[in-house]
Structure 1
């Protein structure tokens, strides 16, 4: 496995044999604790652990809800040998807690702190004994060095625990460990420093050396302590604030040079600052830069390098940020992971924002927030309930404000989900006061199936919700099958201009009140009628008198486009930077093509078009149940919004069900098609999301188009998927030809669990018949490389150019620069 580096690259300490991860916390940026092993297994932050003076440099103090997690990887799934080493300073912990876990004892192993001064390593596998307890070896408030070493090749004393360099206890544990796809998680109490994990069994001499001389383990005299763009998403008019720091680990004063610069595109650089400094032992030097982006856009790496006086590179680290007006056009999205946000969730606001930030997702979304999506987007009270589907979600001004502020502090756009439907108590009130604003079925019922009496009952229901209901007849009426879709009330007569103006003003007021960065409309303001597909959620609509609202499809298209345009113009007049997304994906494609005017208005200026059926592709009844159908359909469907100036988002990804192989395959075909993914990230996909952020220009530039001409000039051996993924874009420097390579899944049909990893394709030969001279350069971009872009040999023989891709596991991108 090649290293997958998120934040670090270049110089690193010499890797010890079997070292799978080393988290010193000396290189900590409040998003990640960097892995000093060189393997790139950075630990992501959950909660708010506090910095403290460590046994060496800096350590972290963990509360009960604070922990770090390291995505699953092969190096941490050894079955025969395992060593876990760390310094711990316990606090007054009242209860046992999992200090370390790789799944659990039934899945692999976990290590519990056993108050007041003990530990319990629980092993899963063929060993008959689960619990391995040692007591009285830790002291509250004092640093202690601990090493647990497991070696299944030893018949006796296969498990050992060392305390401050001395072996304290052994156990006979025949058998091997289990493996799983769970992350390595550590923290949840006390203070930790110099955490190490090995897939070999450390010897007693090595453990004693690590205890006696911990300060020599890093092997570097000066390190880049952190590198941090303050905001992930930056608007073009803003100055990008960049922070970095270097630290001396030397025993004497050290002269060095610090270089800070930006990288963008494939090989372009922008120098920022170069400074010669002298650092005293243990000294930390911090730097802050404010960079005006000007006309530049897309993804950037902020890089800090430190060299010694002779020019030798000592350390190099980087992190990624965006500059764009529209966060829908770059990177991937954290989809509807949140439903309701009250004061009880306030403490989770920063945790969620950090989770989104560390996965390089520029936008997140809050559902179930408006008191009524149509007519009440600003709450009257500090607390309220919002309806969505068949449920209601608690919200508070304090809770929503905390979430919005936490996202904005880290440069994450946050948008609400909204609909042009009435719902809840306020929707009931509007529907009863303005029956001419509502749409009806042919039988006179509301389009959601609600009769007037049910509306009245729902109004009473909402006045009492969520308290217990004493009126059983009321509760039974609400639960009637024809009472509609849960808390949804009725569809609005979207041809009524007075109603639409009222709706637009309410949406604008809500965006200003909550400081939203945009809006996603589900059931956006389309005028419905006979012939409309039910998939749009708009059955045939009639007015109060039982007449079709707008019989003619073309007229409905024109009126729908007017609605969309009016809403956007009213909002943009006061909030010119907000962005818009719409539910109008593949399952609605026929409807979109029936309404070209409205579809074009939705796509205009980078409007996001959401195809949300991907969470059903694993179902045997899905028309996209074969992987090849999924890949081809996404690739073709991207073209429709792109022709109209929009972007395609694919969601909702079933992260709660999926396995990592499935996730990597699906993301491969999404990236190759130049689509975006909506969903909550898991399975170690952060390197992929960072790549999509850093190289977003090469994935999503609107100037890039499919090129049948270049496709005819290319051949690839052995066979992989590439024919639909050949693009051309013209730049100020010339022409880029981009070829995506996708390794087909091992199974024909889409399955979530049990899918095997694909056979790695080695030494792929990509041959191009040149139109004239050879390219200036050929670049390979891959999430499995360190760094993620590598220049390839591009020597041509006559008119034919052949480049060799050493390995293809899931997805790679070739960039030919002419």
Structure 2
């Protein structure tokens, strides 16, 4: 359009049908945007063939930014052939860059994977270093740039390990903990174990973005992230970064630090919001926003990716918003880009993209929404990018200078919009062009309408131009993808200061280029000044309102409102007020009592980094017991005053069945006021409490004004009361008799210690340097131990962090032994008996009337009487009515047996026989269970029949019953079932109870598999819960919701089976013979499944050390450190 020059000529000899390649090069110069390279073959002075191709030129790839495709989110198993084909396809599609979304182990702190294969932190995509290098090398070979995804937010386990070493890099609130959108400690533990699963939920599949937002107002945090991007670019060859996260802060420091080492590295930011429907574009923060846009920073807008995200989905609203946004961004030196619609018809997508292009925006997530007369849209944009993506400014009051008139006879609903998409382009040689982007919108005005008529092509469209004072219209031309040749010249008719041009045809999108020489400019809009004025007015308004409120308060006008104090600044326990507000139906037991069973029961509430505290192993070192975990599950549907714990014992009955509760770096907000109140009552009633310190609790948390504060043997006097030492504080003993088995020389060091002062009467058990590290105290009848050392800080070279010391499990074991005192007692188990509800049918009345009732009425009254099952007698009565009257409603029978379940005992045996012979699965299953409770060998033959059942639940109930009956005569039947049945671990456990053990090595493998399966199903349960209640749950159709609910029930049932079977096997081990010990030791030495470690310690702990010494020696070289610990015991 502007100039042409010859860049290469050569003589060539070509035989008929011969093909030759002639390499050549030429100096391009500084001319950016679209170019055409035209080749001509001349023979004997006559042109015999010609061809051409287009290419774009820009110093910053985003300036002519056409998004391409990468090889996929997984770079594992990438072949050179597939990489080459992907990039060749990008070249054919005119794409000049691609972005790899969320590919790294952490988008902030780990873009340099330390292993060949890795998994991304944000979305768990599998990747490989070699694959990523191959992809980028192939892209660069073809002139395609590669952009990495980046975020000022740590993700996944890599991000949390960075947080462990540098917690000061991350946002922190004492009221709620670190700045995180979500985190599940259970899934973080899966990541730590490299236990990724991409299958469906019932097969253990899961996805989780555990996040931690960084402090980009903190220079060391900025430098850390910038340096990681540089290291990643040095390894892979990244050409730039596109920051996600909808914020900007302190990026100039980051940009300068990166570009000092990587000149030409480009930067993009997802930080704009078009605010469609507003009359102004308002940036999130003018100073930082201007800084990142300066010098062609890419400014992305993700907010417009769904047409329902603004007003009513109006096309006009979107057009105005996207143009105003582009005008502002271009004025401050930025390159605007928007994300296209997630969903929409083909025509919706077309107008979505064309509206953005008319605004001068780039677009991403699509390479082309269709073909045009000129070819694909990227082809057109490559050639004519100067008229779309150059730095332009919106012409103000365009109606005073320009007009578009449709020819007579045009459709009455035709609309050509250009008022927000008329731009002034200034060229370096002094020329200036006015670019009218004409959009011929379709016959409907809202996206996603069911009826979508296409636009009518318009003929003889007239453009009238009022010339600026002293200006001459030098030339004009029409540019459009709807033109086969891409552009053609227009011949204007000039009449004084007015010129008119006629476009023969306008189809979808046309650009009229008016080039002026001399004269004044058209007036321009003032988007930056308008926004600045708005912000100033808003500030002035707020200041005025504050001043007025202060004056009213001073004059005692109105009711003064007391400022809400921060949670950590309240002077007393705030939990009663929270309970009164949010838990109005909460009833606190008058005198709750622990339910002792003679065994130490420990519940471990696992927060972040709880994996460093092997409480389960420590429990076995302390003499053994039962261990149950729960996890912090800070995800959207759990947030609120109820806290965000998963699998915590959420009732007095459940919590008071434990002897010791471990709160491991758990934030008070995650517990919630109800759990905190229950925990306080648990301790006062005699329960033990172990509090592990960290950045979520004590002086770093919000414990101070909750029910927990009174329990602690320290007083939280101020926030952030930490002592730190990069070299480490050595752990030393303060009370020698408390830790009889700990070698303190090997106890290691802590790098951070909470300095909350010790309460009067409390006792310091161990120190970290000069600071108390472990403190014990009492509250009511209970004991409390708090560990003030926390696992944060970057270990200095040559130091041993205390959590890595082999002595740490023994330290914890001593604490548990102290806290569990009194657990040897056995409480009398009594079920709280409810009074009969006289408004419901009484069981005795039902028994009297049942035989005379018709089936519908019997079922109705049976449902009512079910609610009056309050003891063994009423349970037997209602169940007998259902059996004697042959009720067949499976759902009703299920609810009846569930209500009777807690009261079943050996006295139900006659009913058990009757149920075991029923035609209904639900009754036979319960019948086998009851016969097992009776432990009568006479019932064995009937129960054995259950092994032939087709219903798995009936088979399982029969197996357990045979184990309870304990008749060795049943062993052959169980052995026969084991050979072909599915419930193998359960059958093996029953055989051990019957005195006929199966292959022990195979049994251990089945046990390990069950533990593995239990973890998988827990992961799957979380996935289904996220589907049902997570951020996108609102989009589920009724059918999808029912499907997910069914899948949840399936996963929960399978999880319950795996939990039962693994515990049942562990309980069946008993004494091992030498052959079994040999198999057990060999299994433990080779296993990589850490979940078997508690069984290992429990089994070894049953025998004197001398008796197990030969086996312990073999474990010194075990795969797992938890197992190697046995060699030292």
* Range of TM-score over shorter length: 0.5 to 0.7
Cα separation, 2, equivalents of 1:459 and 1:720:
58
Q: Which residue of 2 aligns with 1:366?
A: 100
Task: Report the number of matched residues.
Answer: 498
Q: CA RMSD in A?
A: 3.0
Tell me the equivalent position of 1:387. Answer: 121
Distance 1:765 1:467 in 2: 62
Contact 1:746 1:757 in 2 (8 A): yes
Would the alpha carbon gap of residues 716 and 402 (structure 1) be closer, same or farther in structure 2, given more than 3 Å must change? same
CA contact (8 A) 1:335 1:678 kept: no
Q: Select the structure of larger CA radius of gyration.
A: 2
1-side partners of 2:94 and 2:434: how far apart? Answer: 26
1:668 aligns with 2:354: yes
Q: Identify the match of residue 217 of structure 2 among 465, 481, 495.
A: 495
Aligned to 1:463: 193
Runs (5+) with no aligned partner, structure 1: 1-265, 480-484, 527-559
Change (3 A) 1:286 1:502: closer
Q: Structure 2: how far apart are the matches of 1:346 and 1:448?
A: 39
How far 1:525 moved relative to its partner?
Answer: 7.2
Aligned residue runs from structure 1 range 483-522, under 5 A: 486-522=208-244
Task: Report the CA distance between 1:519 and its aligned residue.
Answer: 0.1
Partner of 2:31: 296
CA distance in 1, matches of 2:189, 2:348: 45
Residue of structure 2 equivalent to 1:418: 150
Equivalent residues of 1:420, 1:525 under 8 A apart: no
Which of residues 325, 337, 346 in structure 2 aligns to 1:637?
325
Aligned equivalents of 1:457, 1:433: Cα separation in 2: 20
Measured after TM superposition, the shift of residue 734 of structure 1 is 2.6
- Aligned equivalent of 1:692, options 362, 381, 390: 381
Change (3 A) 1:668 1:464: closer
Residue in structure 2 matched with residue 378 of structure 1 by the alignment = 112
- Post-superposition offset of 1:659: 3.9
Q: For 1:741 and 1:591, locate their aligned partners in 2 and report how far apart those are by CA, in whole Å.
A: 22
Which whole-Å deviations, capped at 9, do the CAs of 1:631-687 have from their partners, x for residues lacking one?
Answer: 111111112222221111010443xx4443223322221121111111232443453
Provide closer, same or farther for how the CA distance between residues 331 and 340 of structure 1 changes in structure 2, counting only shifts above 3 A: same
Q: Write the distance in 2 (CA, Å) between the matches of 1:694 and 1:765.
A: 26
SS, match of residue 408 in structure 1? helix
Instruction: Give, in whole Å, the separation in 2 of the partners of 1:350 and 1:753.
Output: 41
Confirm or deny that 1:717 pairs with 2:452: no
- Secondary structure of the equivalent of 1:272? coil
More strand by share: 1
> By how many angstroms is 1:376 displaced?
1.2
Question: Structure 1 residue aligned with 2:390, among 692, 695, 701?
Answer: 701
TM-score by structure 1 length? 0.57
Tell me, yes or no, if the aligned pair for 1:421 and 1:488 is still in contact at 8 Å. Answer: no
CA apart distance, 1:790: 0.6
1:329–1:647 Cα contact (<8 Å) kept:
yes
Find the aligned partners of 2:196 and 2:208 in 1 and give their Cα distance: 14
- 2: distance between equivalents of 1:408 and 1:468? 31
Partner SS state of residue 417, structure 2: coil
Judged with a 3 Å threshold, the aligned counterparts in structure 2 of structure 1 residues 709 and 276 are, in CA distance, closer, same or farther, namely farther
Secondary structure in 1 matching 2:300: strand
Match of 2:597 in 1: none
Give deviations 1:601-623, integer Å, cap 9, x for gaps: 21121011111133201x3x632
Which structure's relative contact order is higher, taking Cα pairs within 8 Å and 6+ residues apart? 1
Residues 1:275 and 1:651: Cα distance change in structure 2 (over 3 Å): same
Q: Distance in 1 between matches of 2:70 and 2:306?
A: 16
1:384-428, CA deviations, whole angstroms, 9 ceiling, x for partnerless residues?
Answer: 00022xx31000012111211121122111111111112222112
Secondary structure of 2:95 counterpart: coil
* Corresponding position of 1:4: none
Whole-angstrom CA distance in 2 between matches of 1:354 and 1:434: 43
Deviation at 1:756, TM superposition (A): 2.7
Q: Is the 8 A contact 1:662 1:752 kept in 2?
A: no
- What CA distance in whole angstroms lies between the structure 2 residues aligned with 1:585 and 1:466? 34
Change (3 A) 1:791 1:678: same
Measured against aligned partners, the alpha-carbon deviations of 1:421-443 in whole angstroms (never above 9, x if no partner) come to 12222112122233333323453
The aligned residue for residue 286 of structure 1 is 21
Cα deviation code 1:194-252 (max 9, x no counterpart)? xxxxxxxxxxxxxxxxxxxxxxxxxxxxxxxxxxxxxxxxxxxxxxxxxxxxxxxxxxx
Distance 1:400 1:608, change over 3 A: same
Quick check: 1:443 aligned with 2:175? yes
TM-superposition CA deviations, 1:666-711 (whole Å, max 9, x none) = 2221121111111232443453212211122222222x32223765
Residues 365, 624 of structure 1: alpha-carbon distance in 2 compared, 3 angstrom cutoff:
farther
Residues 713-749 of structure 1: CA deviation (Å, up to 9, x unaligned):
2211125111122222333163222211110122110
Matched residues in 1 for 2:358 and 2:246: separation? 29
Task: Tell me if structure 2 keeps the 8 A contact 1:635–1:673.
Answer: yes
Q: Secondary structure at the match of 2:50?
A: strand
Q: CA shift at 1:310, angstroms?
A: 5.2
Change in CA separation of 1:597 and 1:785 when aligned onto 2, cut-off 3 Å: same
Change in 2 beyond 3 A, CA 1:347/1:310: closer
Cα contact 2:357–2:388 (8 A) shared by 1 = yes
Partner in structure 1 of residue 252 of structure 2: 565
What is the rounded CA distance, in whole Å, between the counterparts of 1:286 and 1:297 in structure 2? 27
Q: Distance in 1 between matches of 2:198 and 2:11?
A: 69
Q: Specify which of 431, 437, 454 is matched with residue 740 of structure 1.
A: 437
Extract unaligned runs of 5+ from structure 2. 407-414, 517-1129
Question: What's the secondary structure of 1:339's corresponding residue?
Answer: coil
Give the Cα separation in 1 of the matches to 2:281 and 2:319. Answer: 22
Distance apart, 1:347 and its partner CA: 4.5
Could you say if the C-alpha distance between residues 753 and 568 of structure 1 is closer, same or farther in structure 2, counting changes exceeding 3 Å? farther
**Following the alignment from structure 1 to structure 2, what is the Cα–Cα distance between the partners of residues 348 and 314?**
37
The corresponding residue for 2:268 is 581
Between Structure 1 and Structure 2, the one with more helix by share is 2
Q: Indicate yes or no: 2:494 matched with 1:805.
A: no
CA shift for structure 1 position 498: 2.6
In structure 1, the partner of 2:293 is: 603
Cα separation, partners in 2 of 1:717 and 1:708, compared to 1, 3 Å:
same
Q: Distance in 2 between matches of 1:588 and 1:803?
A: 35
| Alpha carbons of structure 1 residues 754 and 525: separation in structure 2 relative to 1, 3 Å | closer
Query: In the alignment, does 2:55 pair up with 1:321?
Result: yes
Q: Is the 8 A contact 2:70 2:98 kept in 1?
A: yes
Match for residue 424 of structure 2? 728
Residue equivalent to 2:481? 783
C-alpha displacement of 1:341 = 2.2
Alignment equivalent of 1:430, drawn from 149, 156, 162? 162
* Residues 524 and 636 (structure 1), Cα distance of their counterparts in 2 relative to 1, 3 Å cut: closer
Preserved CA contact (<8 Å) 1:362 1:413: yes
SS state of the match for residue 269, structure 1? coil
Following TM superposition, by how much is the alpha carbon of 1:378 offset from its aligned partner in structure 2, in angstroms? 0.5
| Secondary structure of the structure 2 residue equivalent to 1:352 | helix
**Structure 2 counterpart SS, 1:302:** strand
Q: Structure 2 CA distance, aligned partners of 1:511 and 1:278? A: 45
Pick closer, same or farther for the CA change 1:315–1:449 going to 2, 3 Å.
Answer: closer
Match for residue 128 of structure 2 among 382, 392, 396: 396
Is 1:309 the counterpart of 2:41? The answer is no
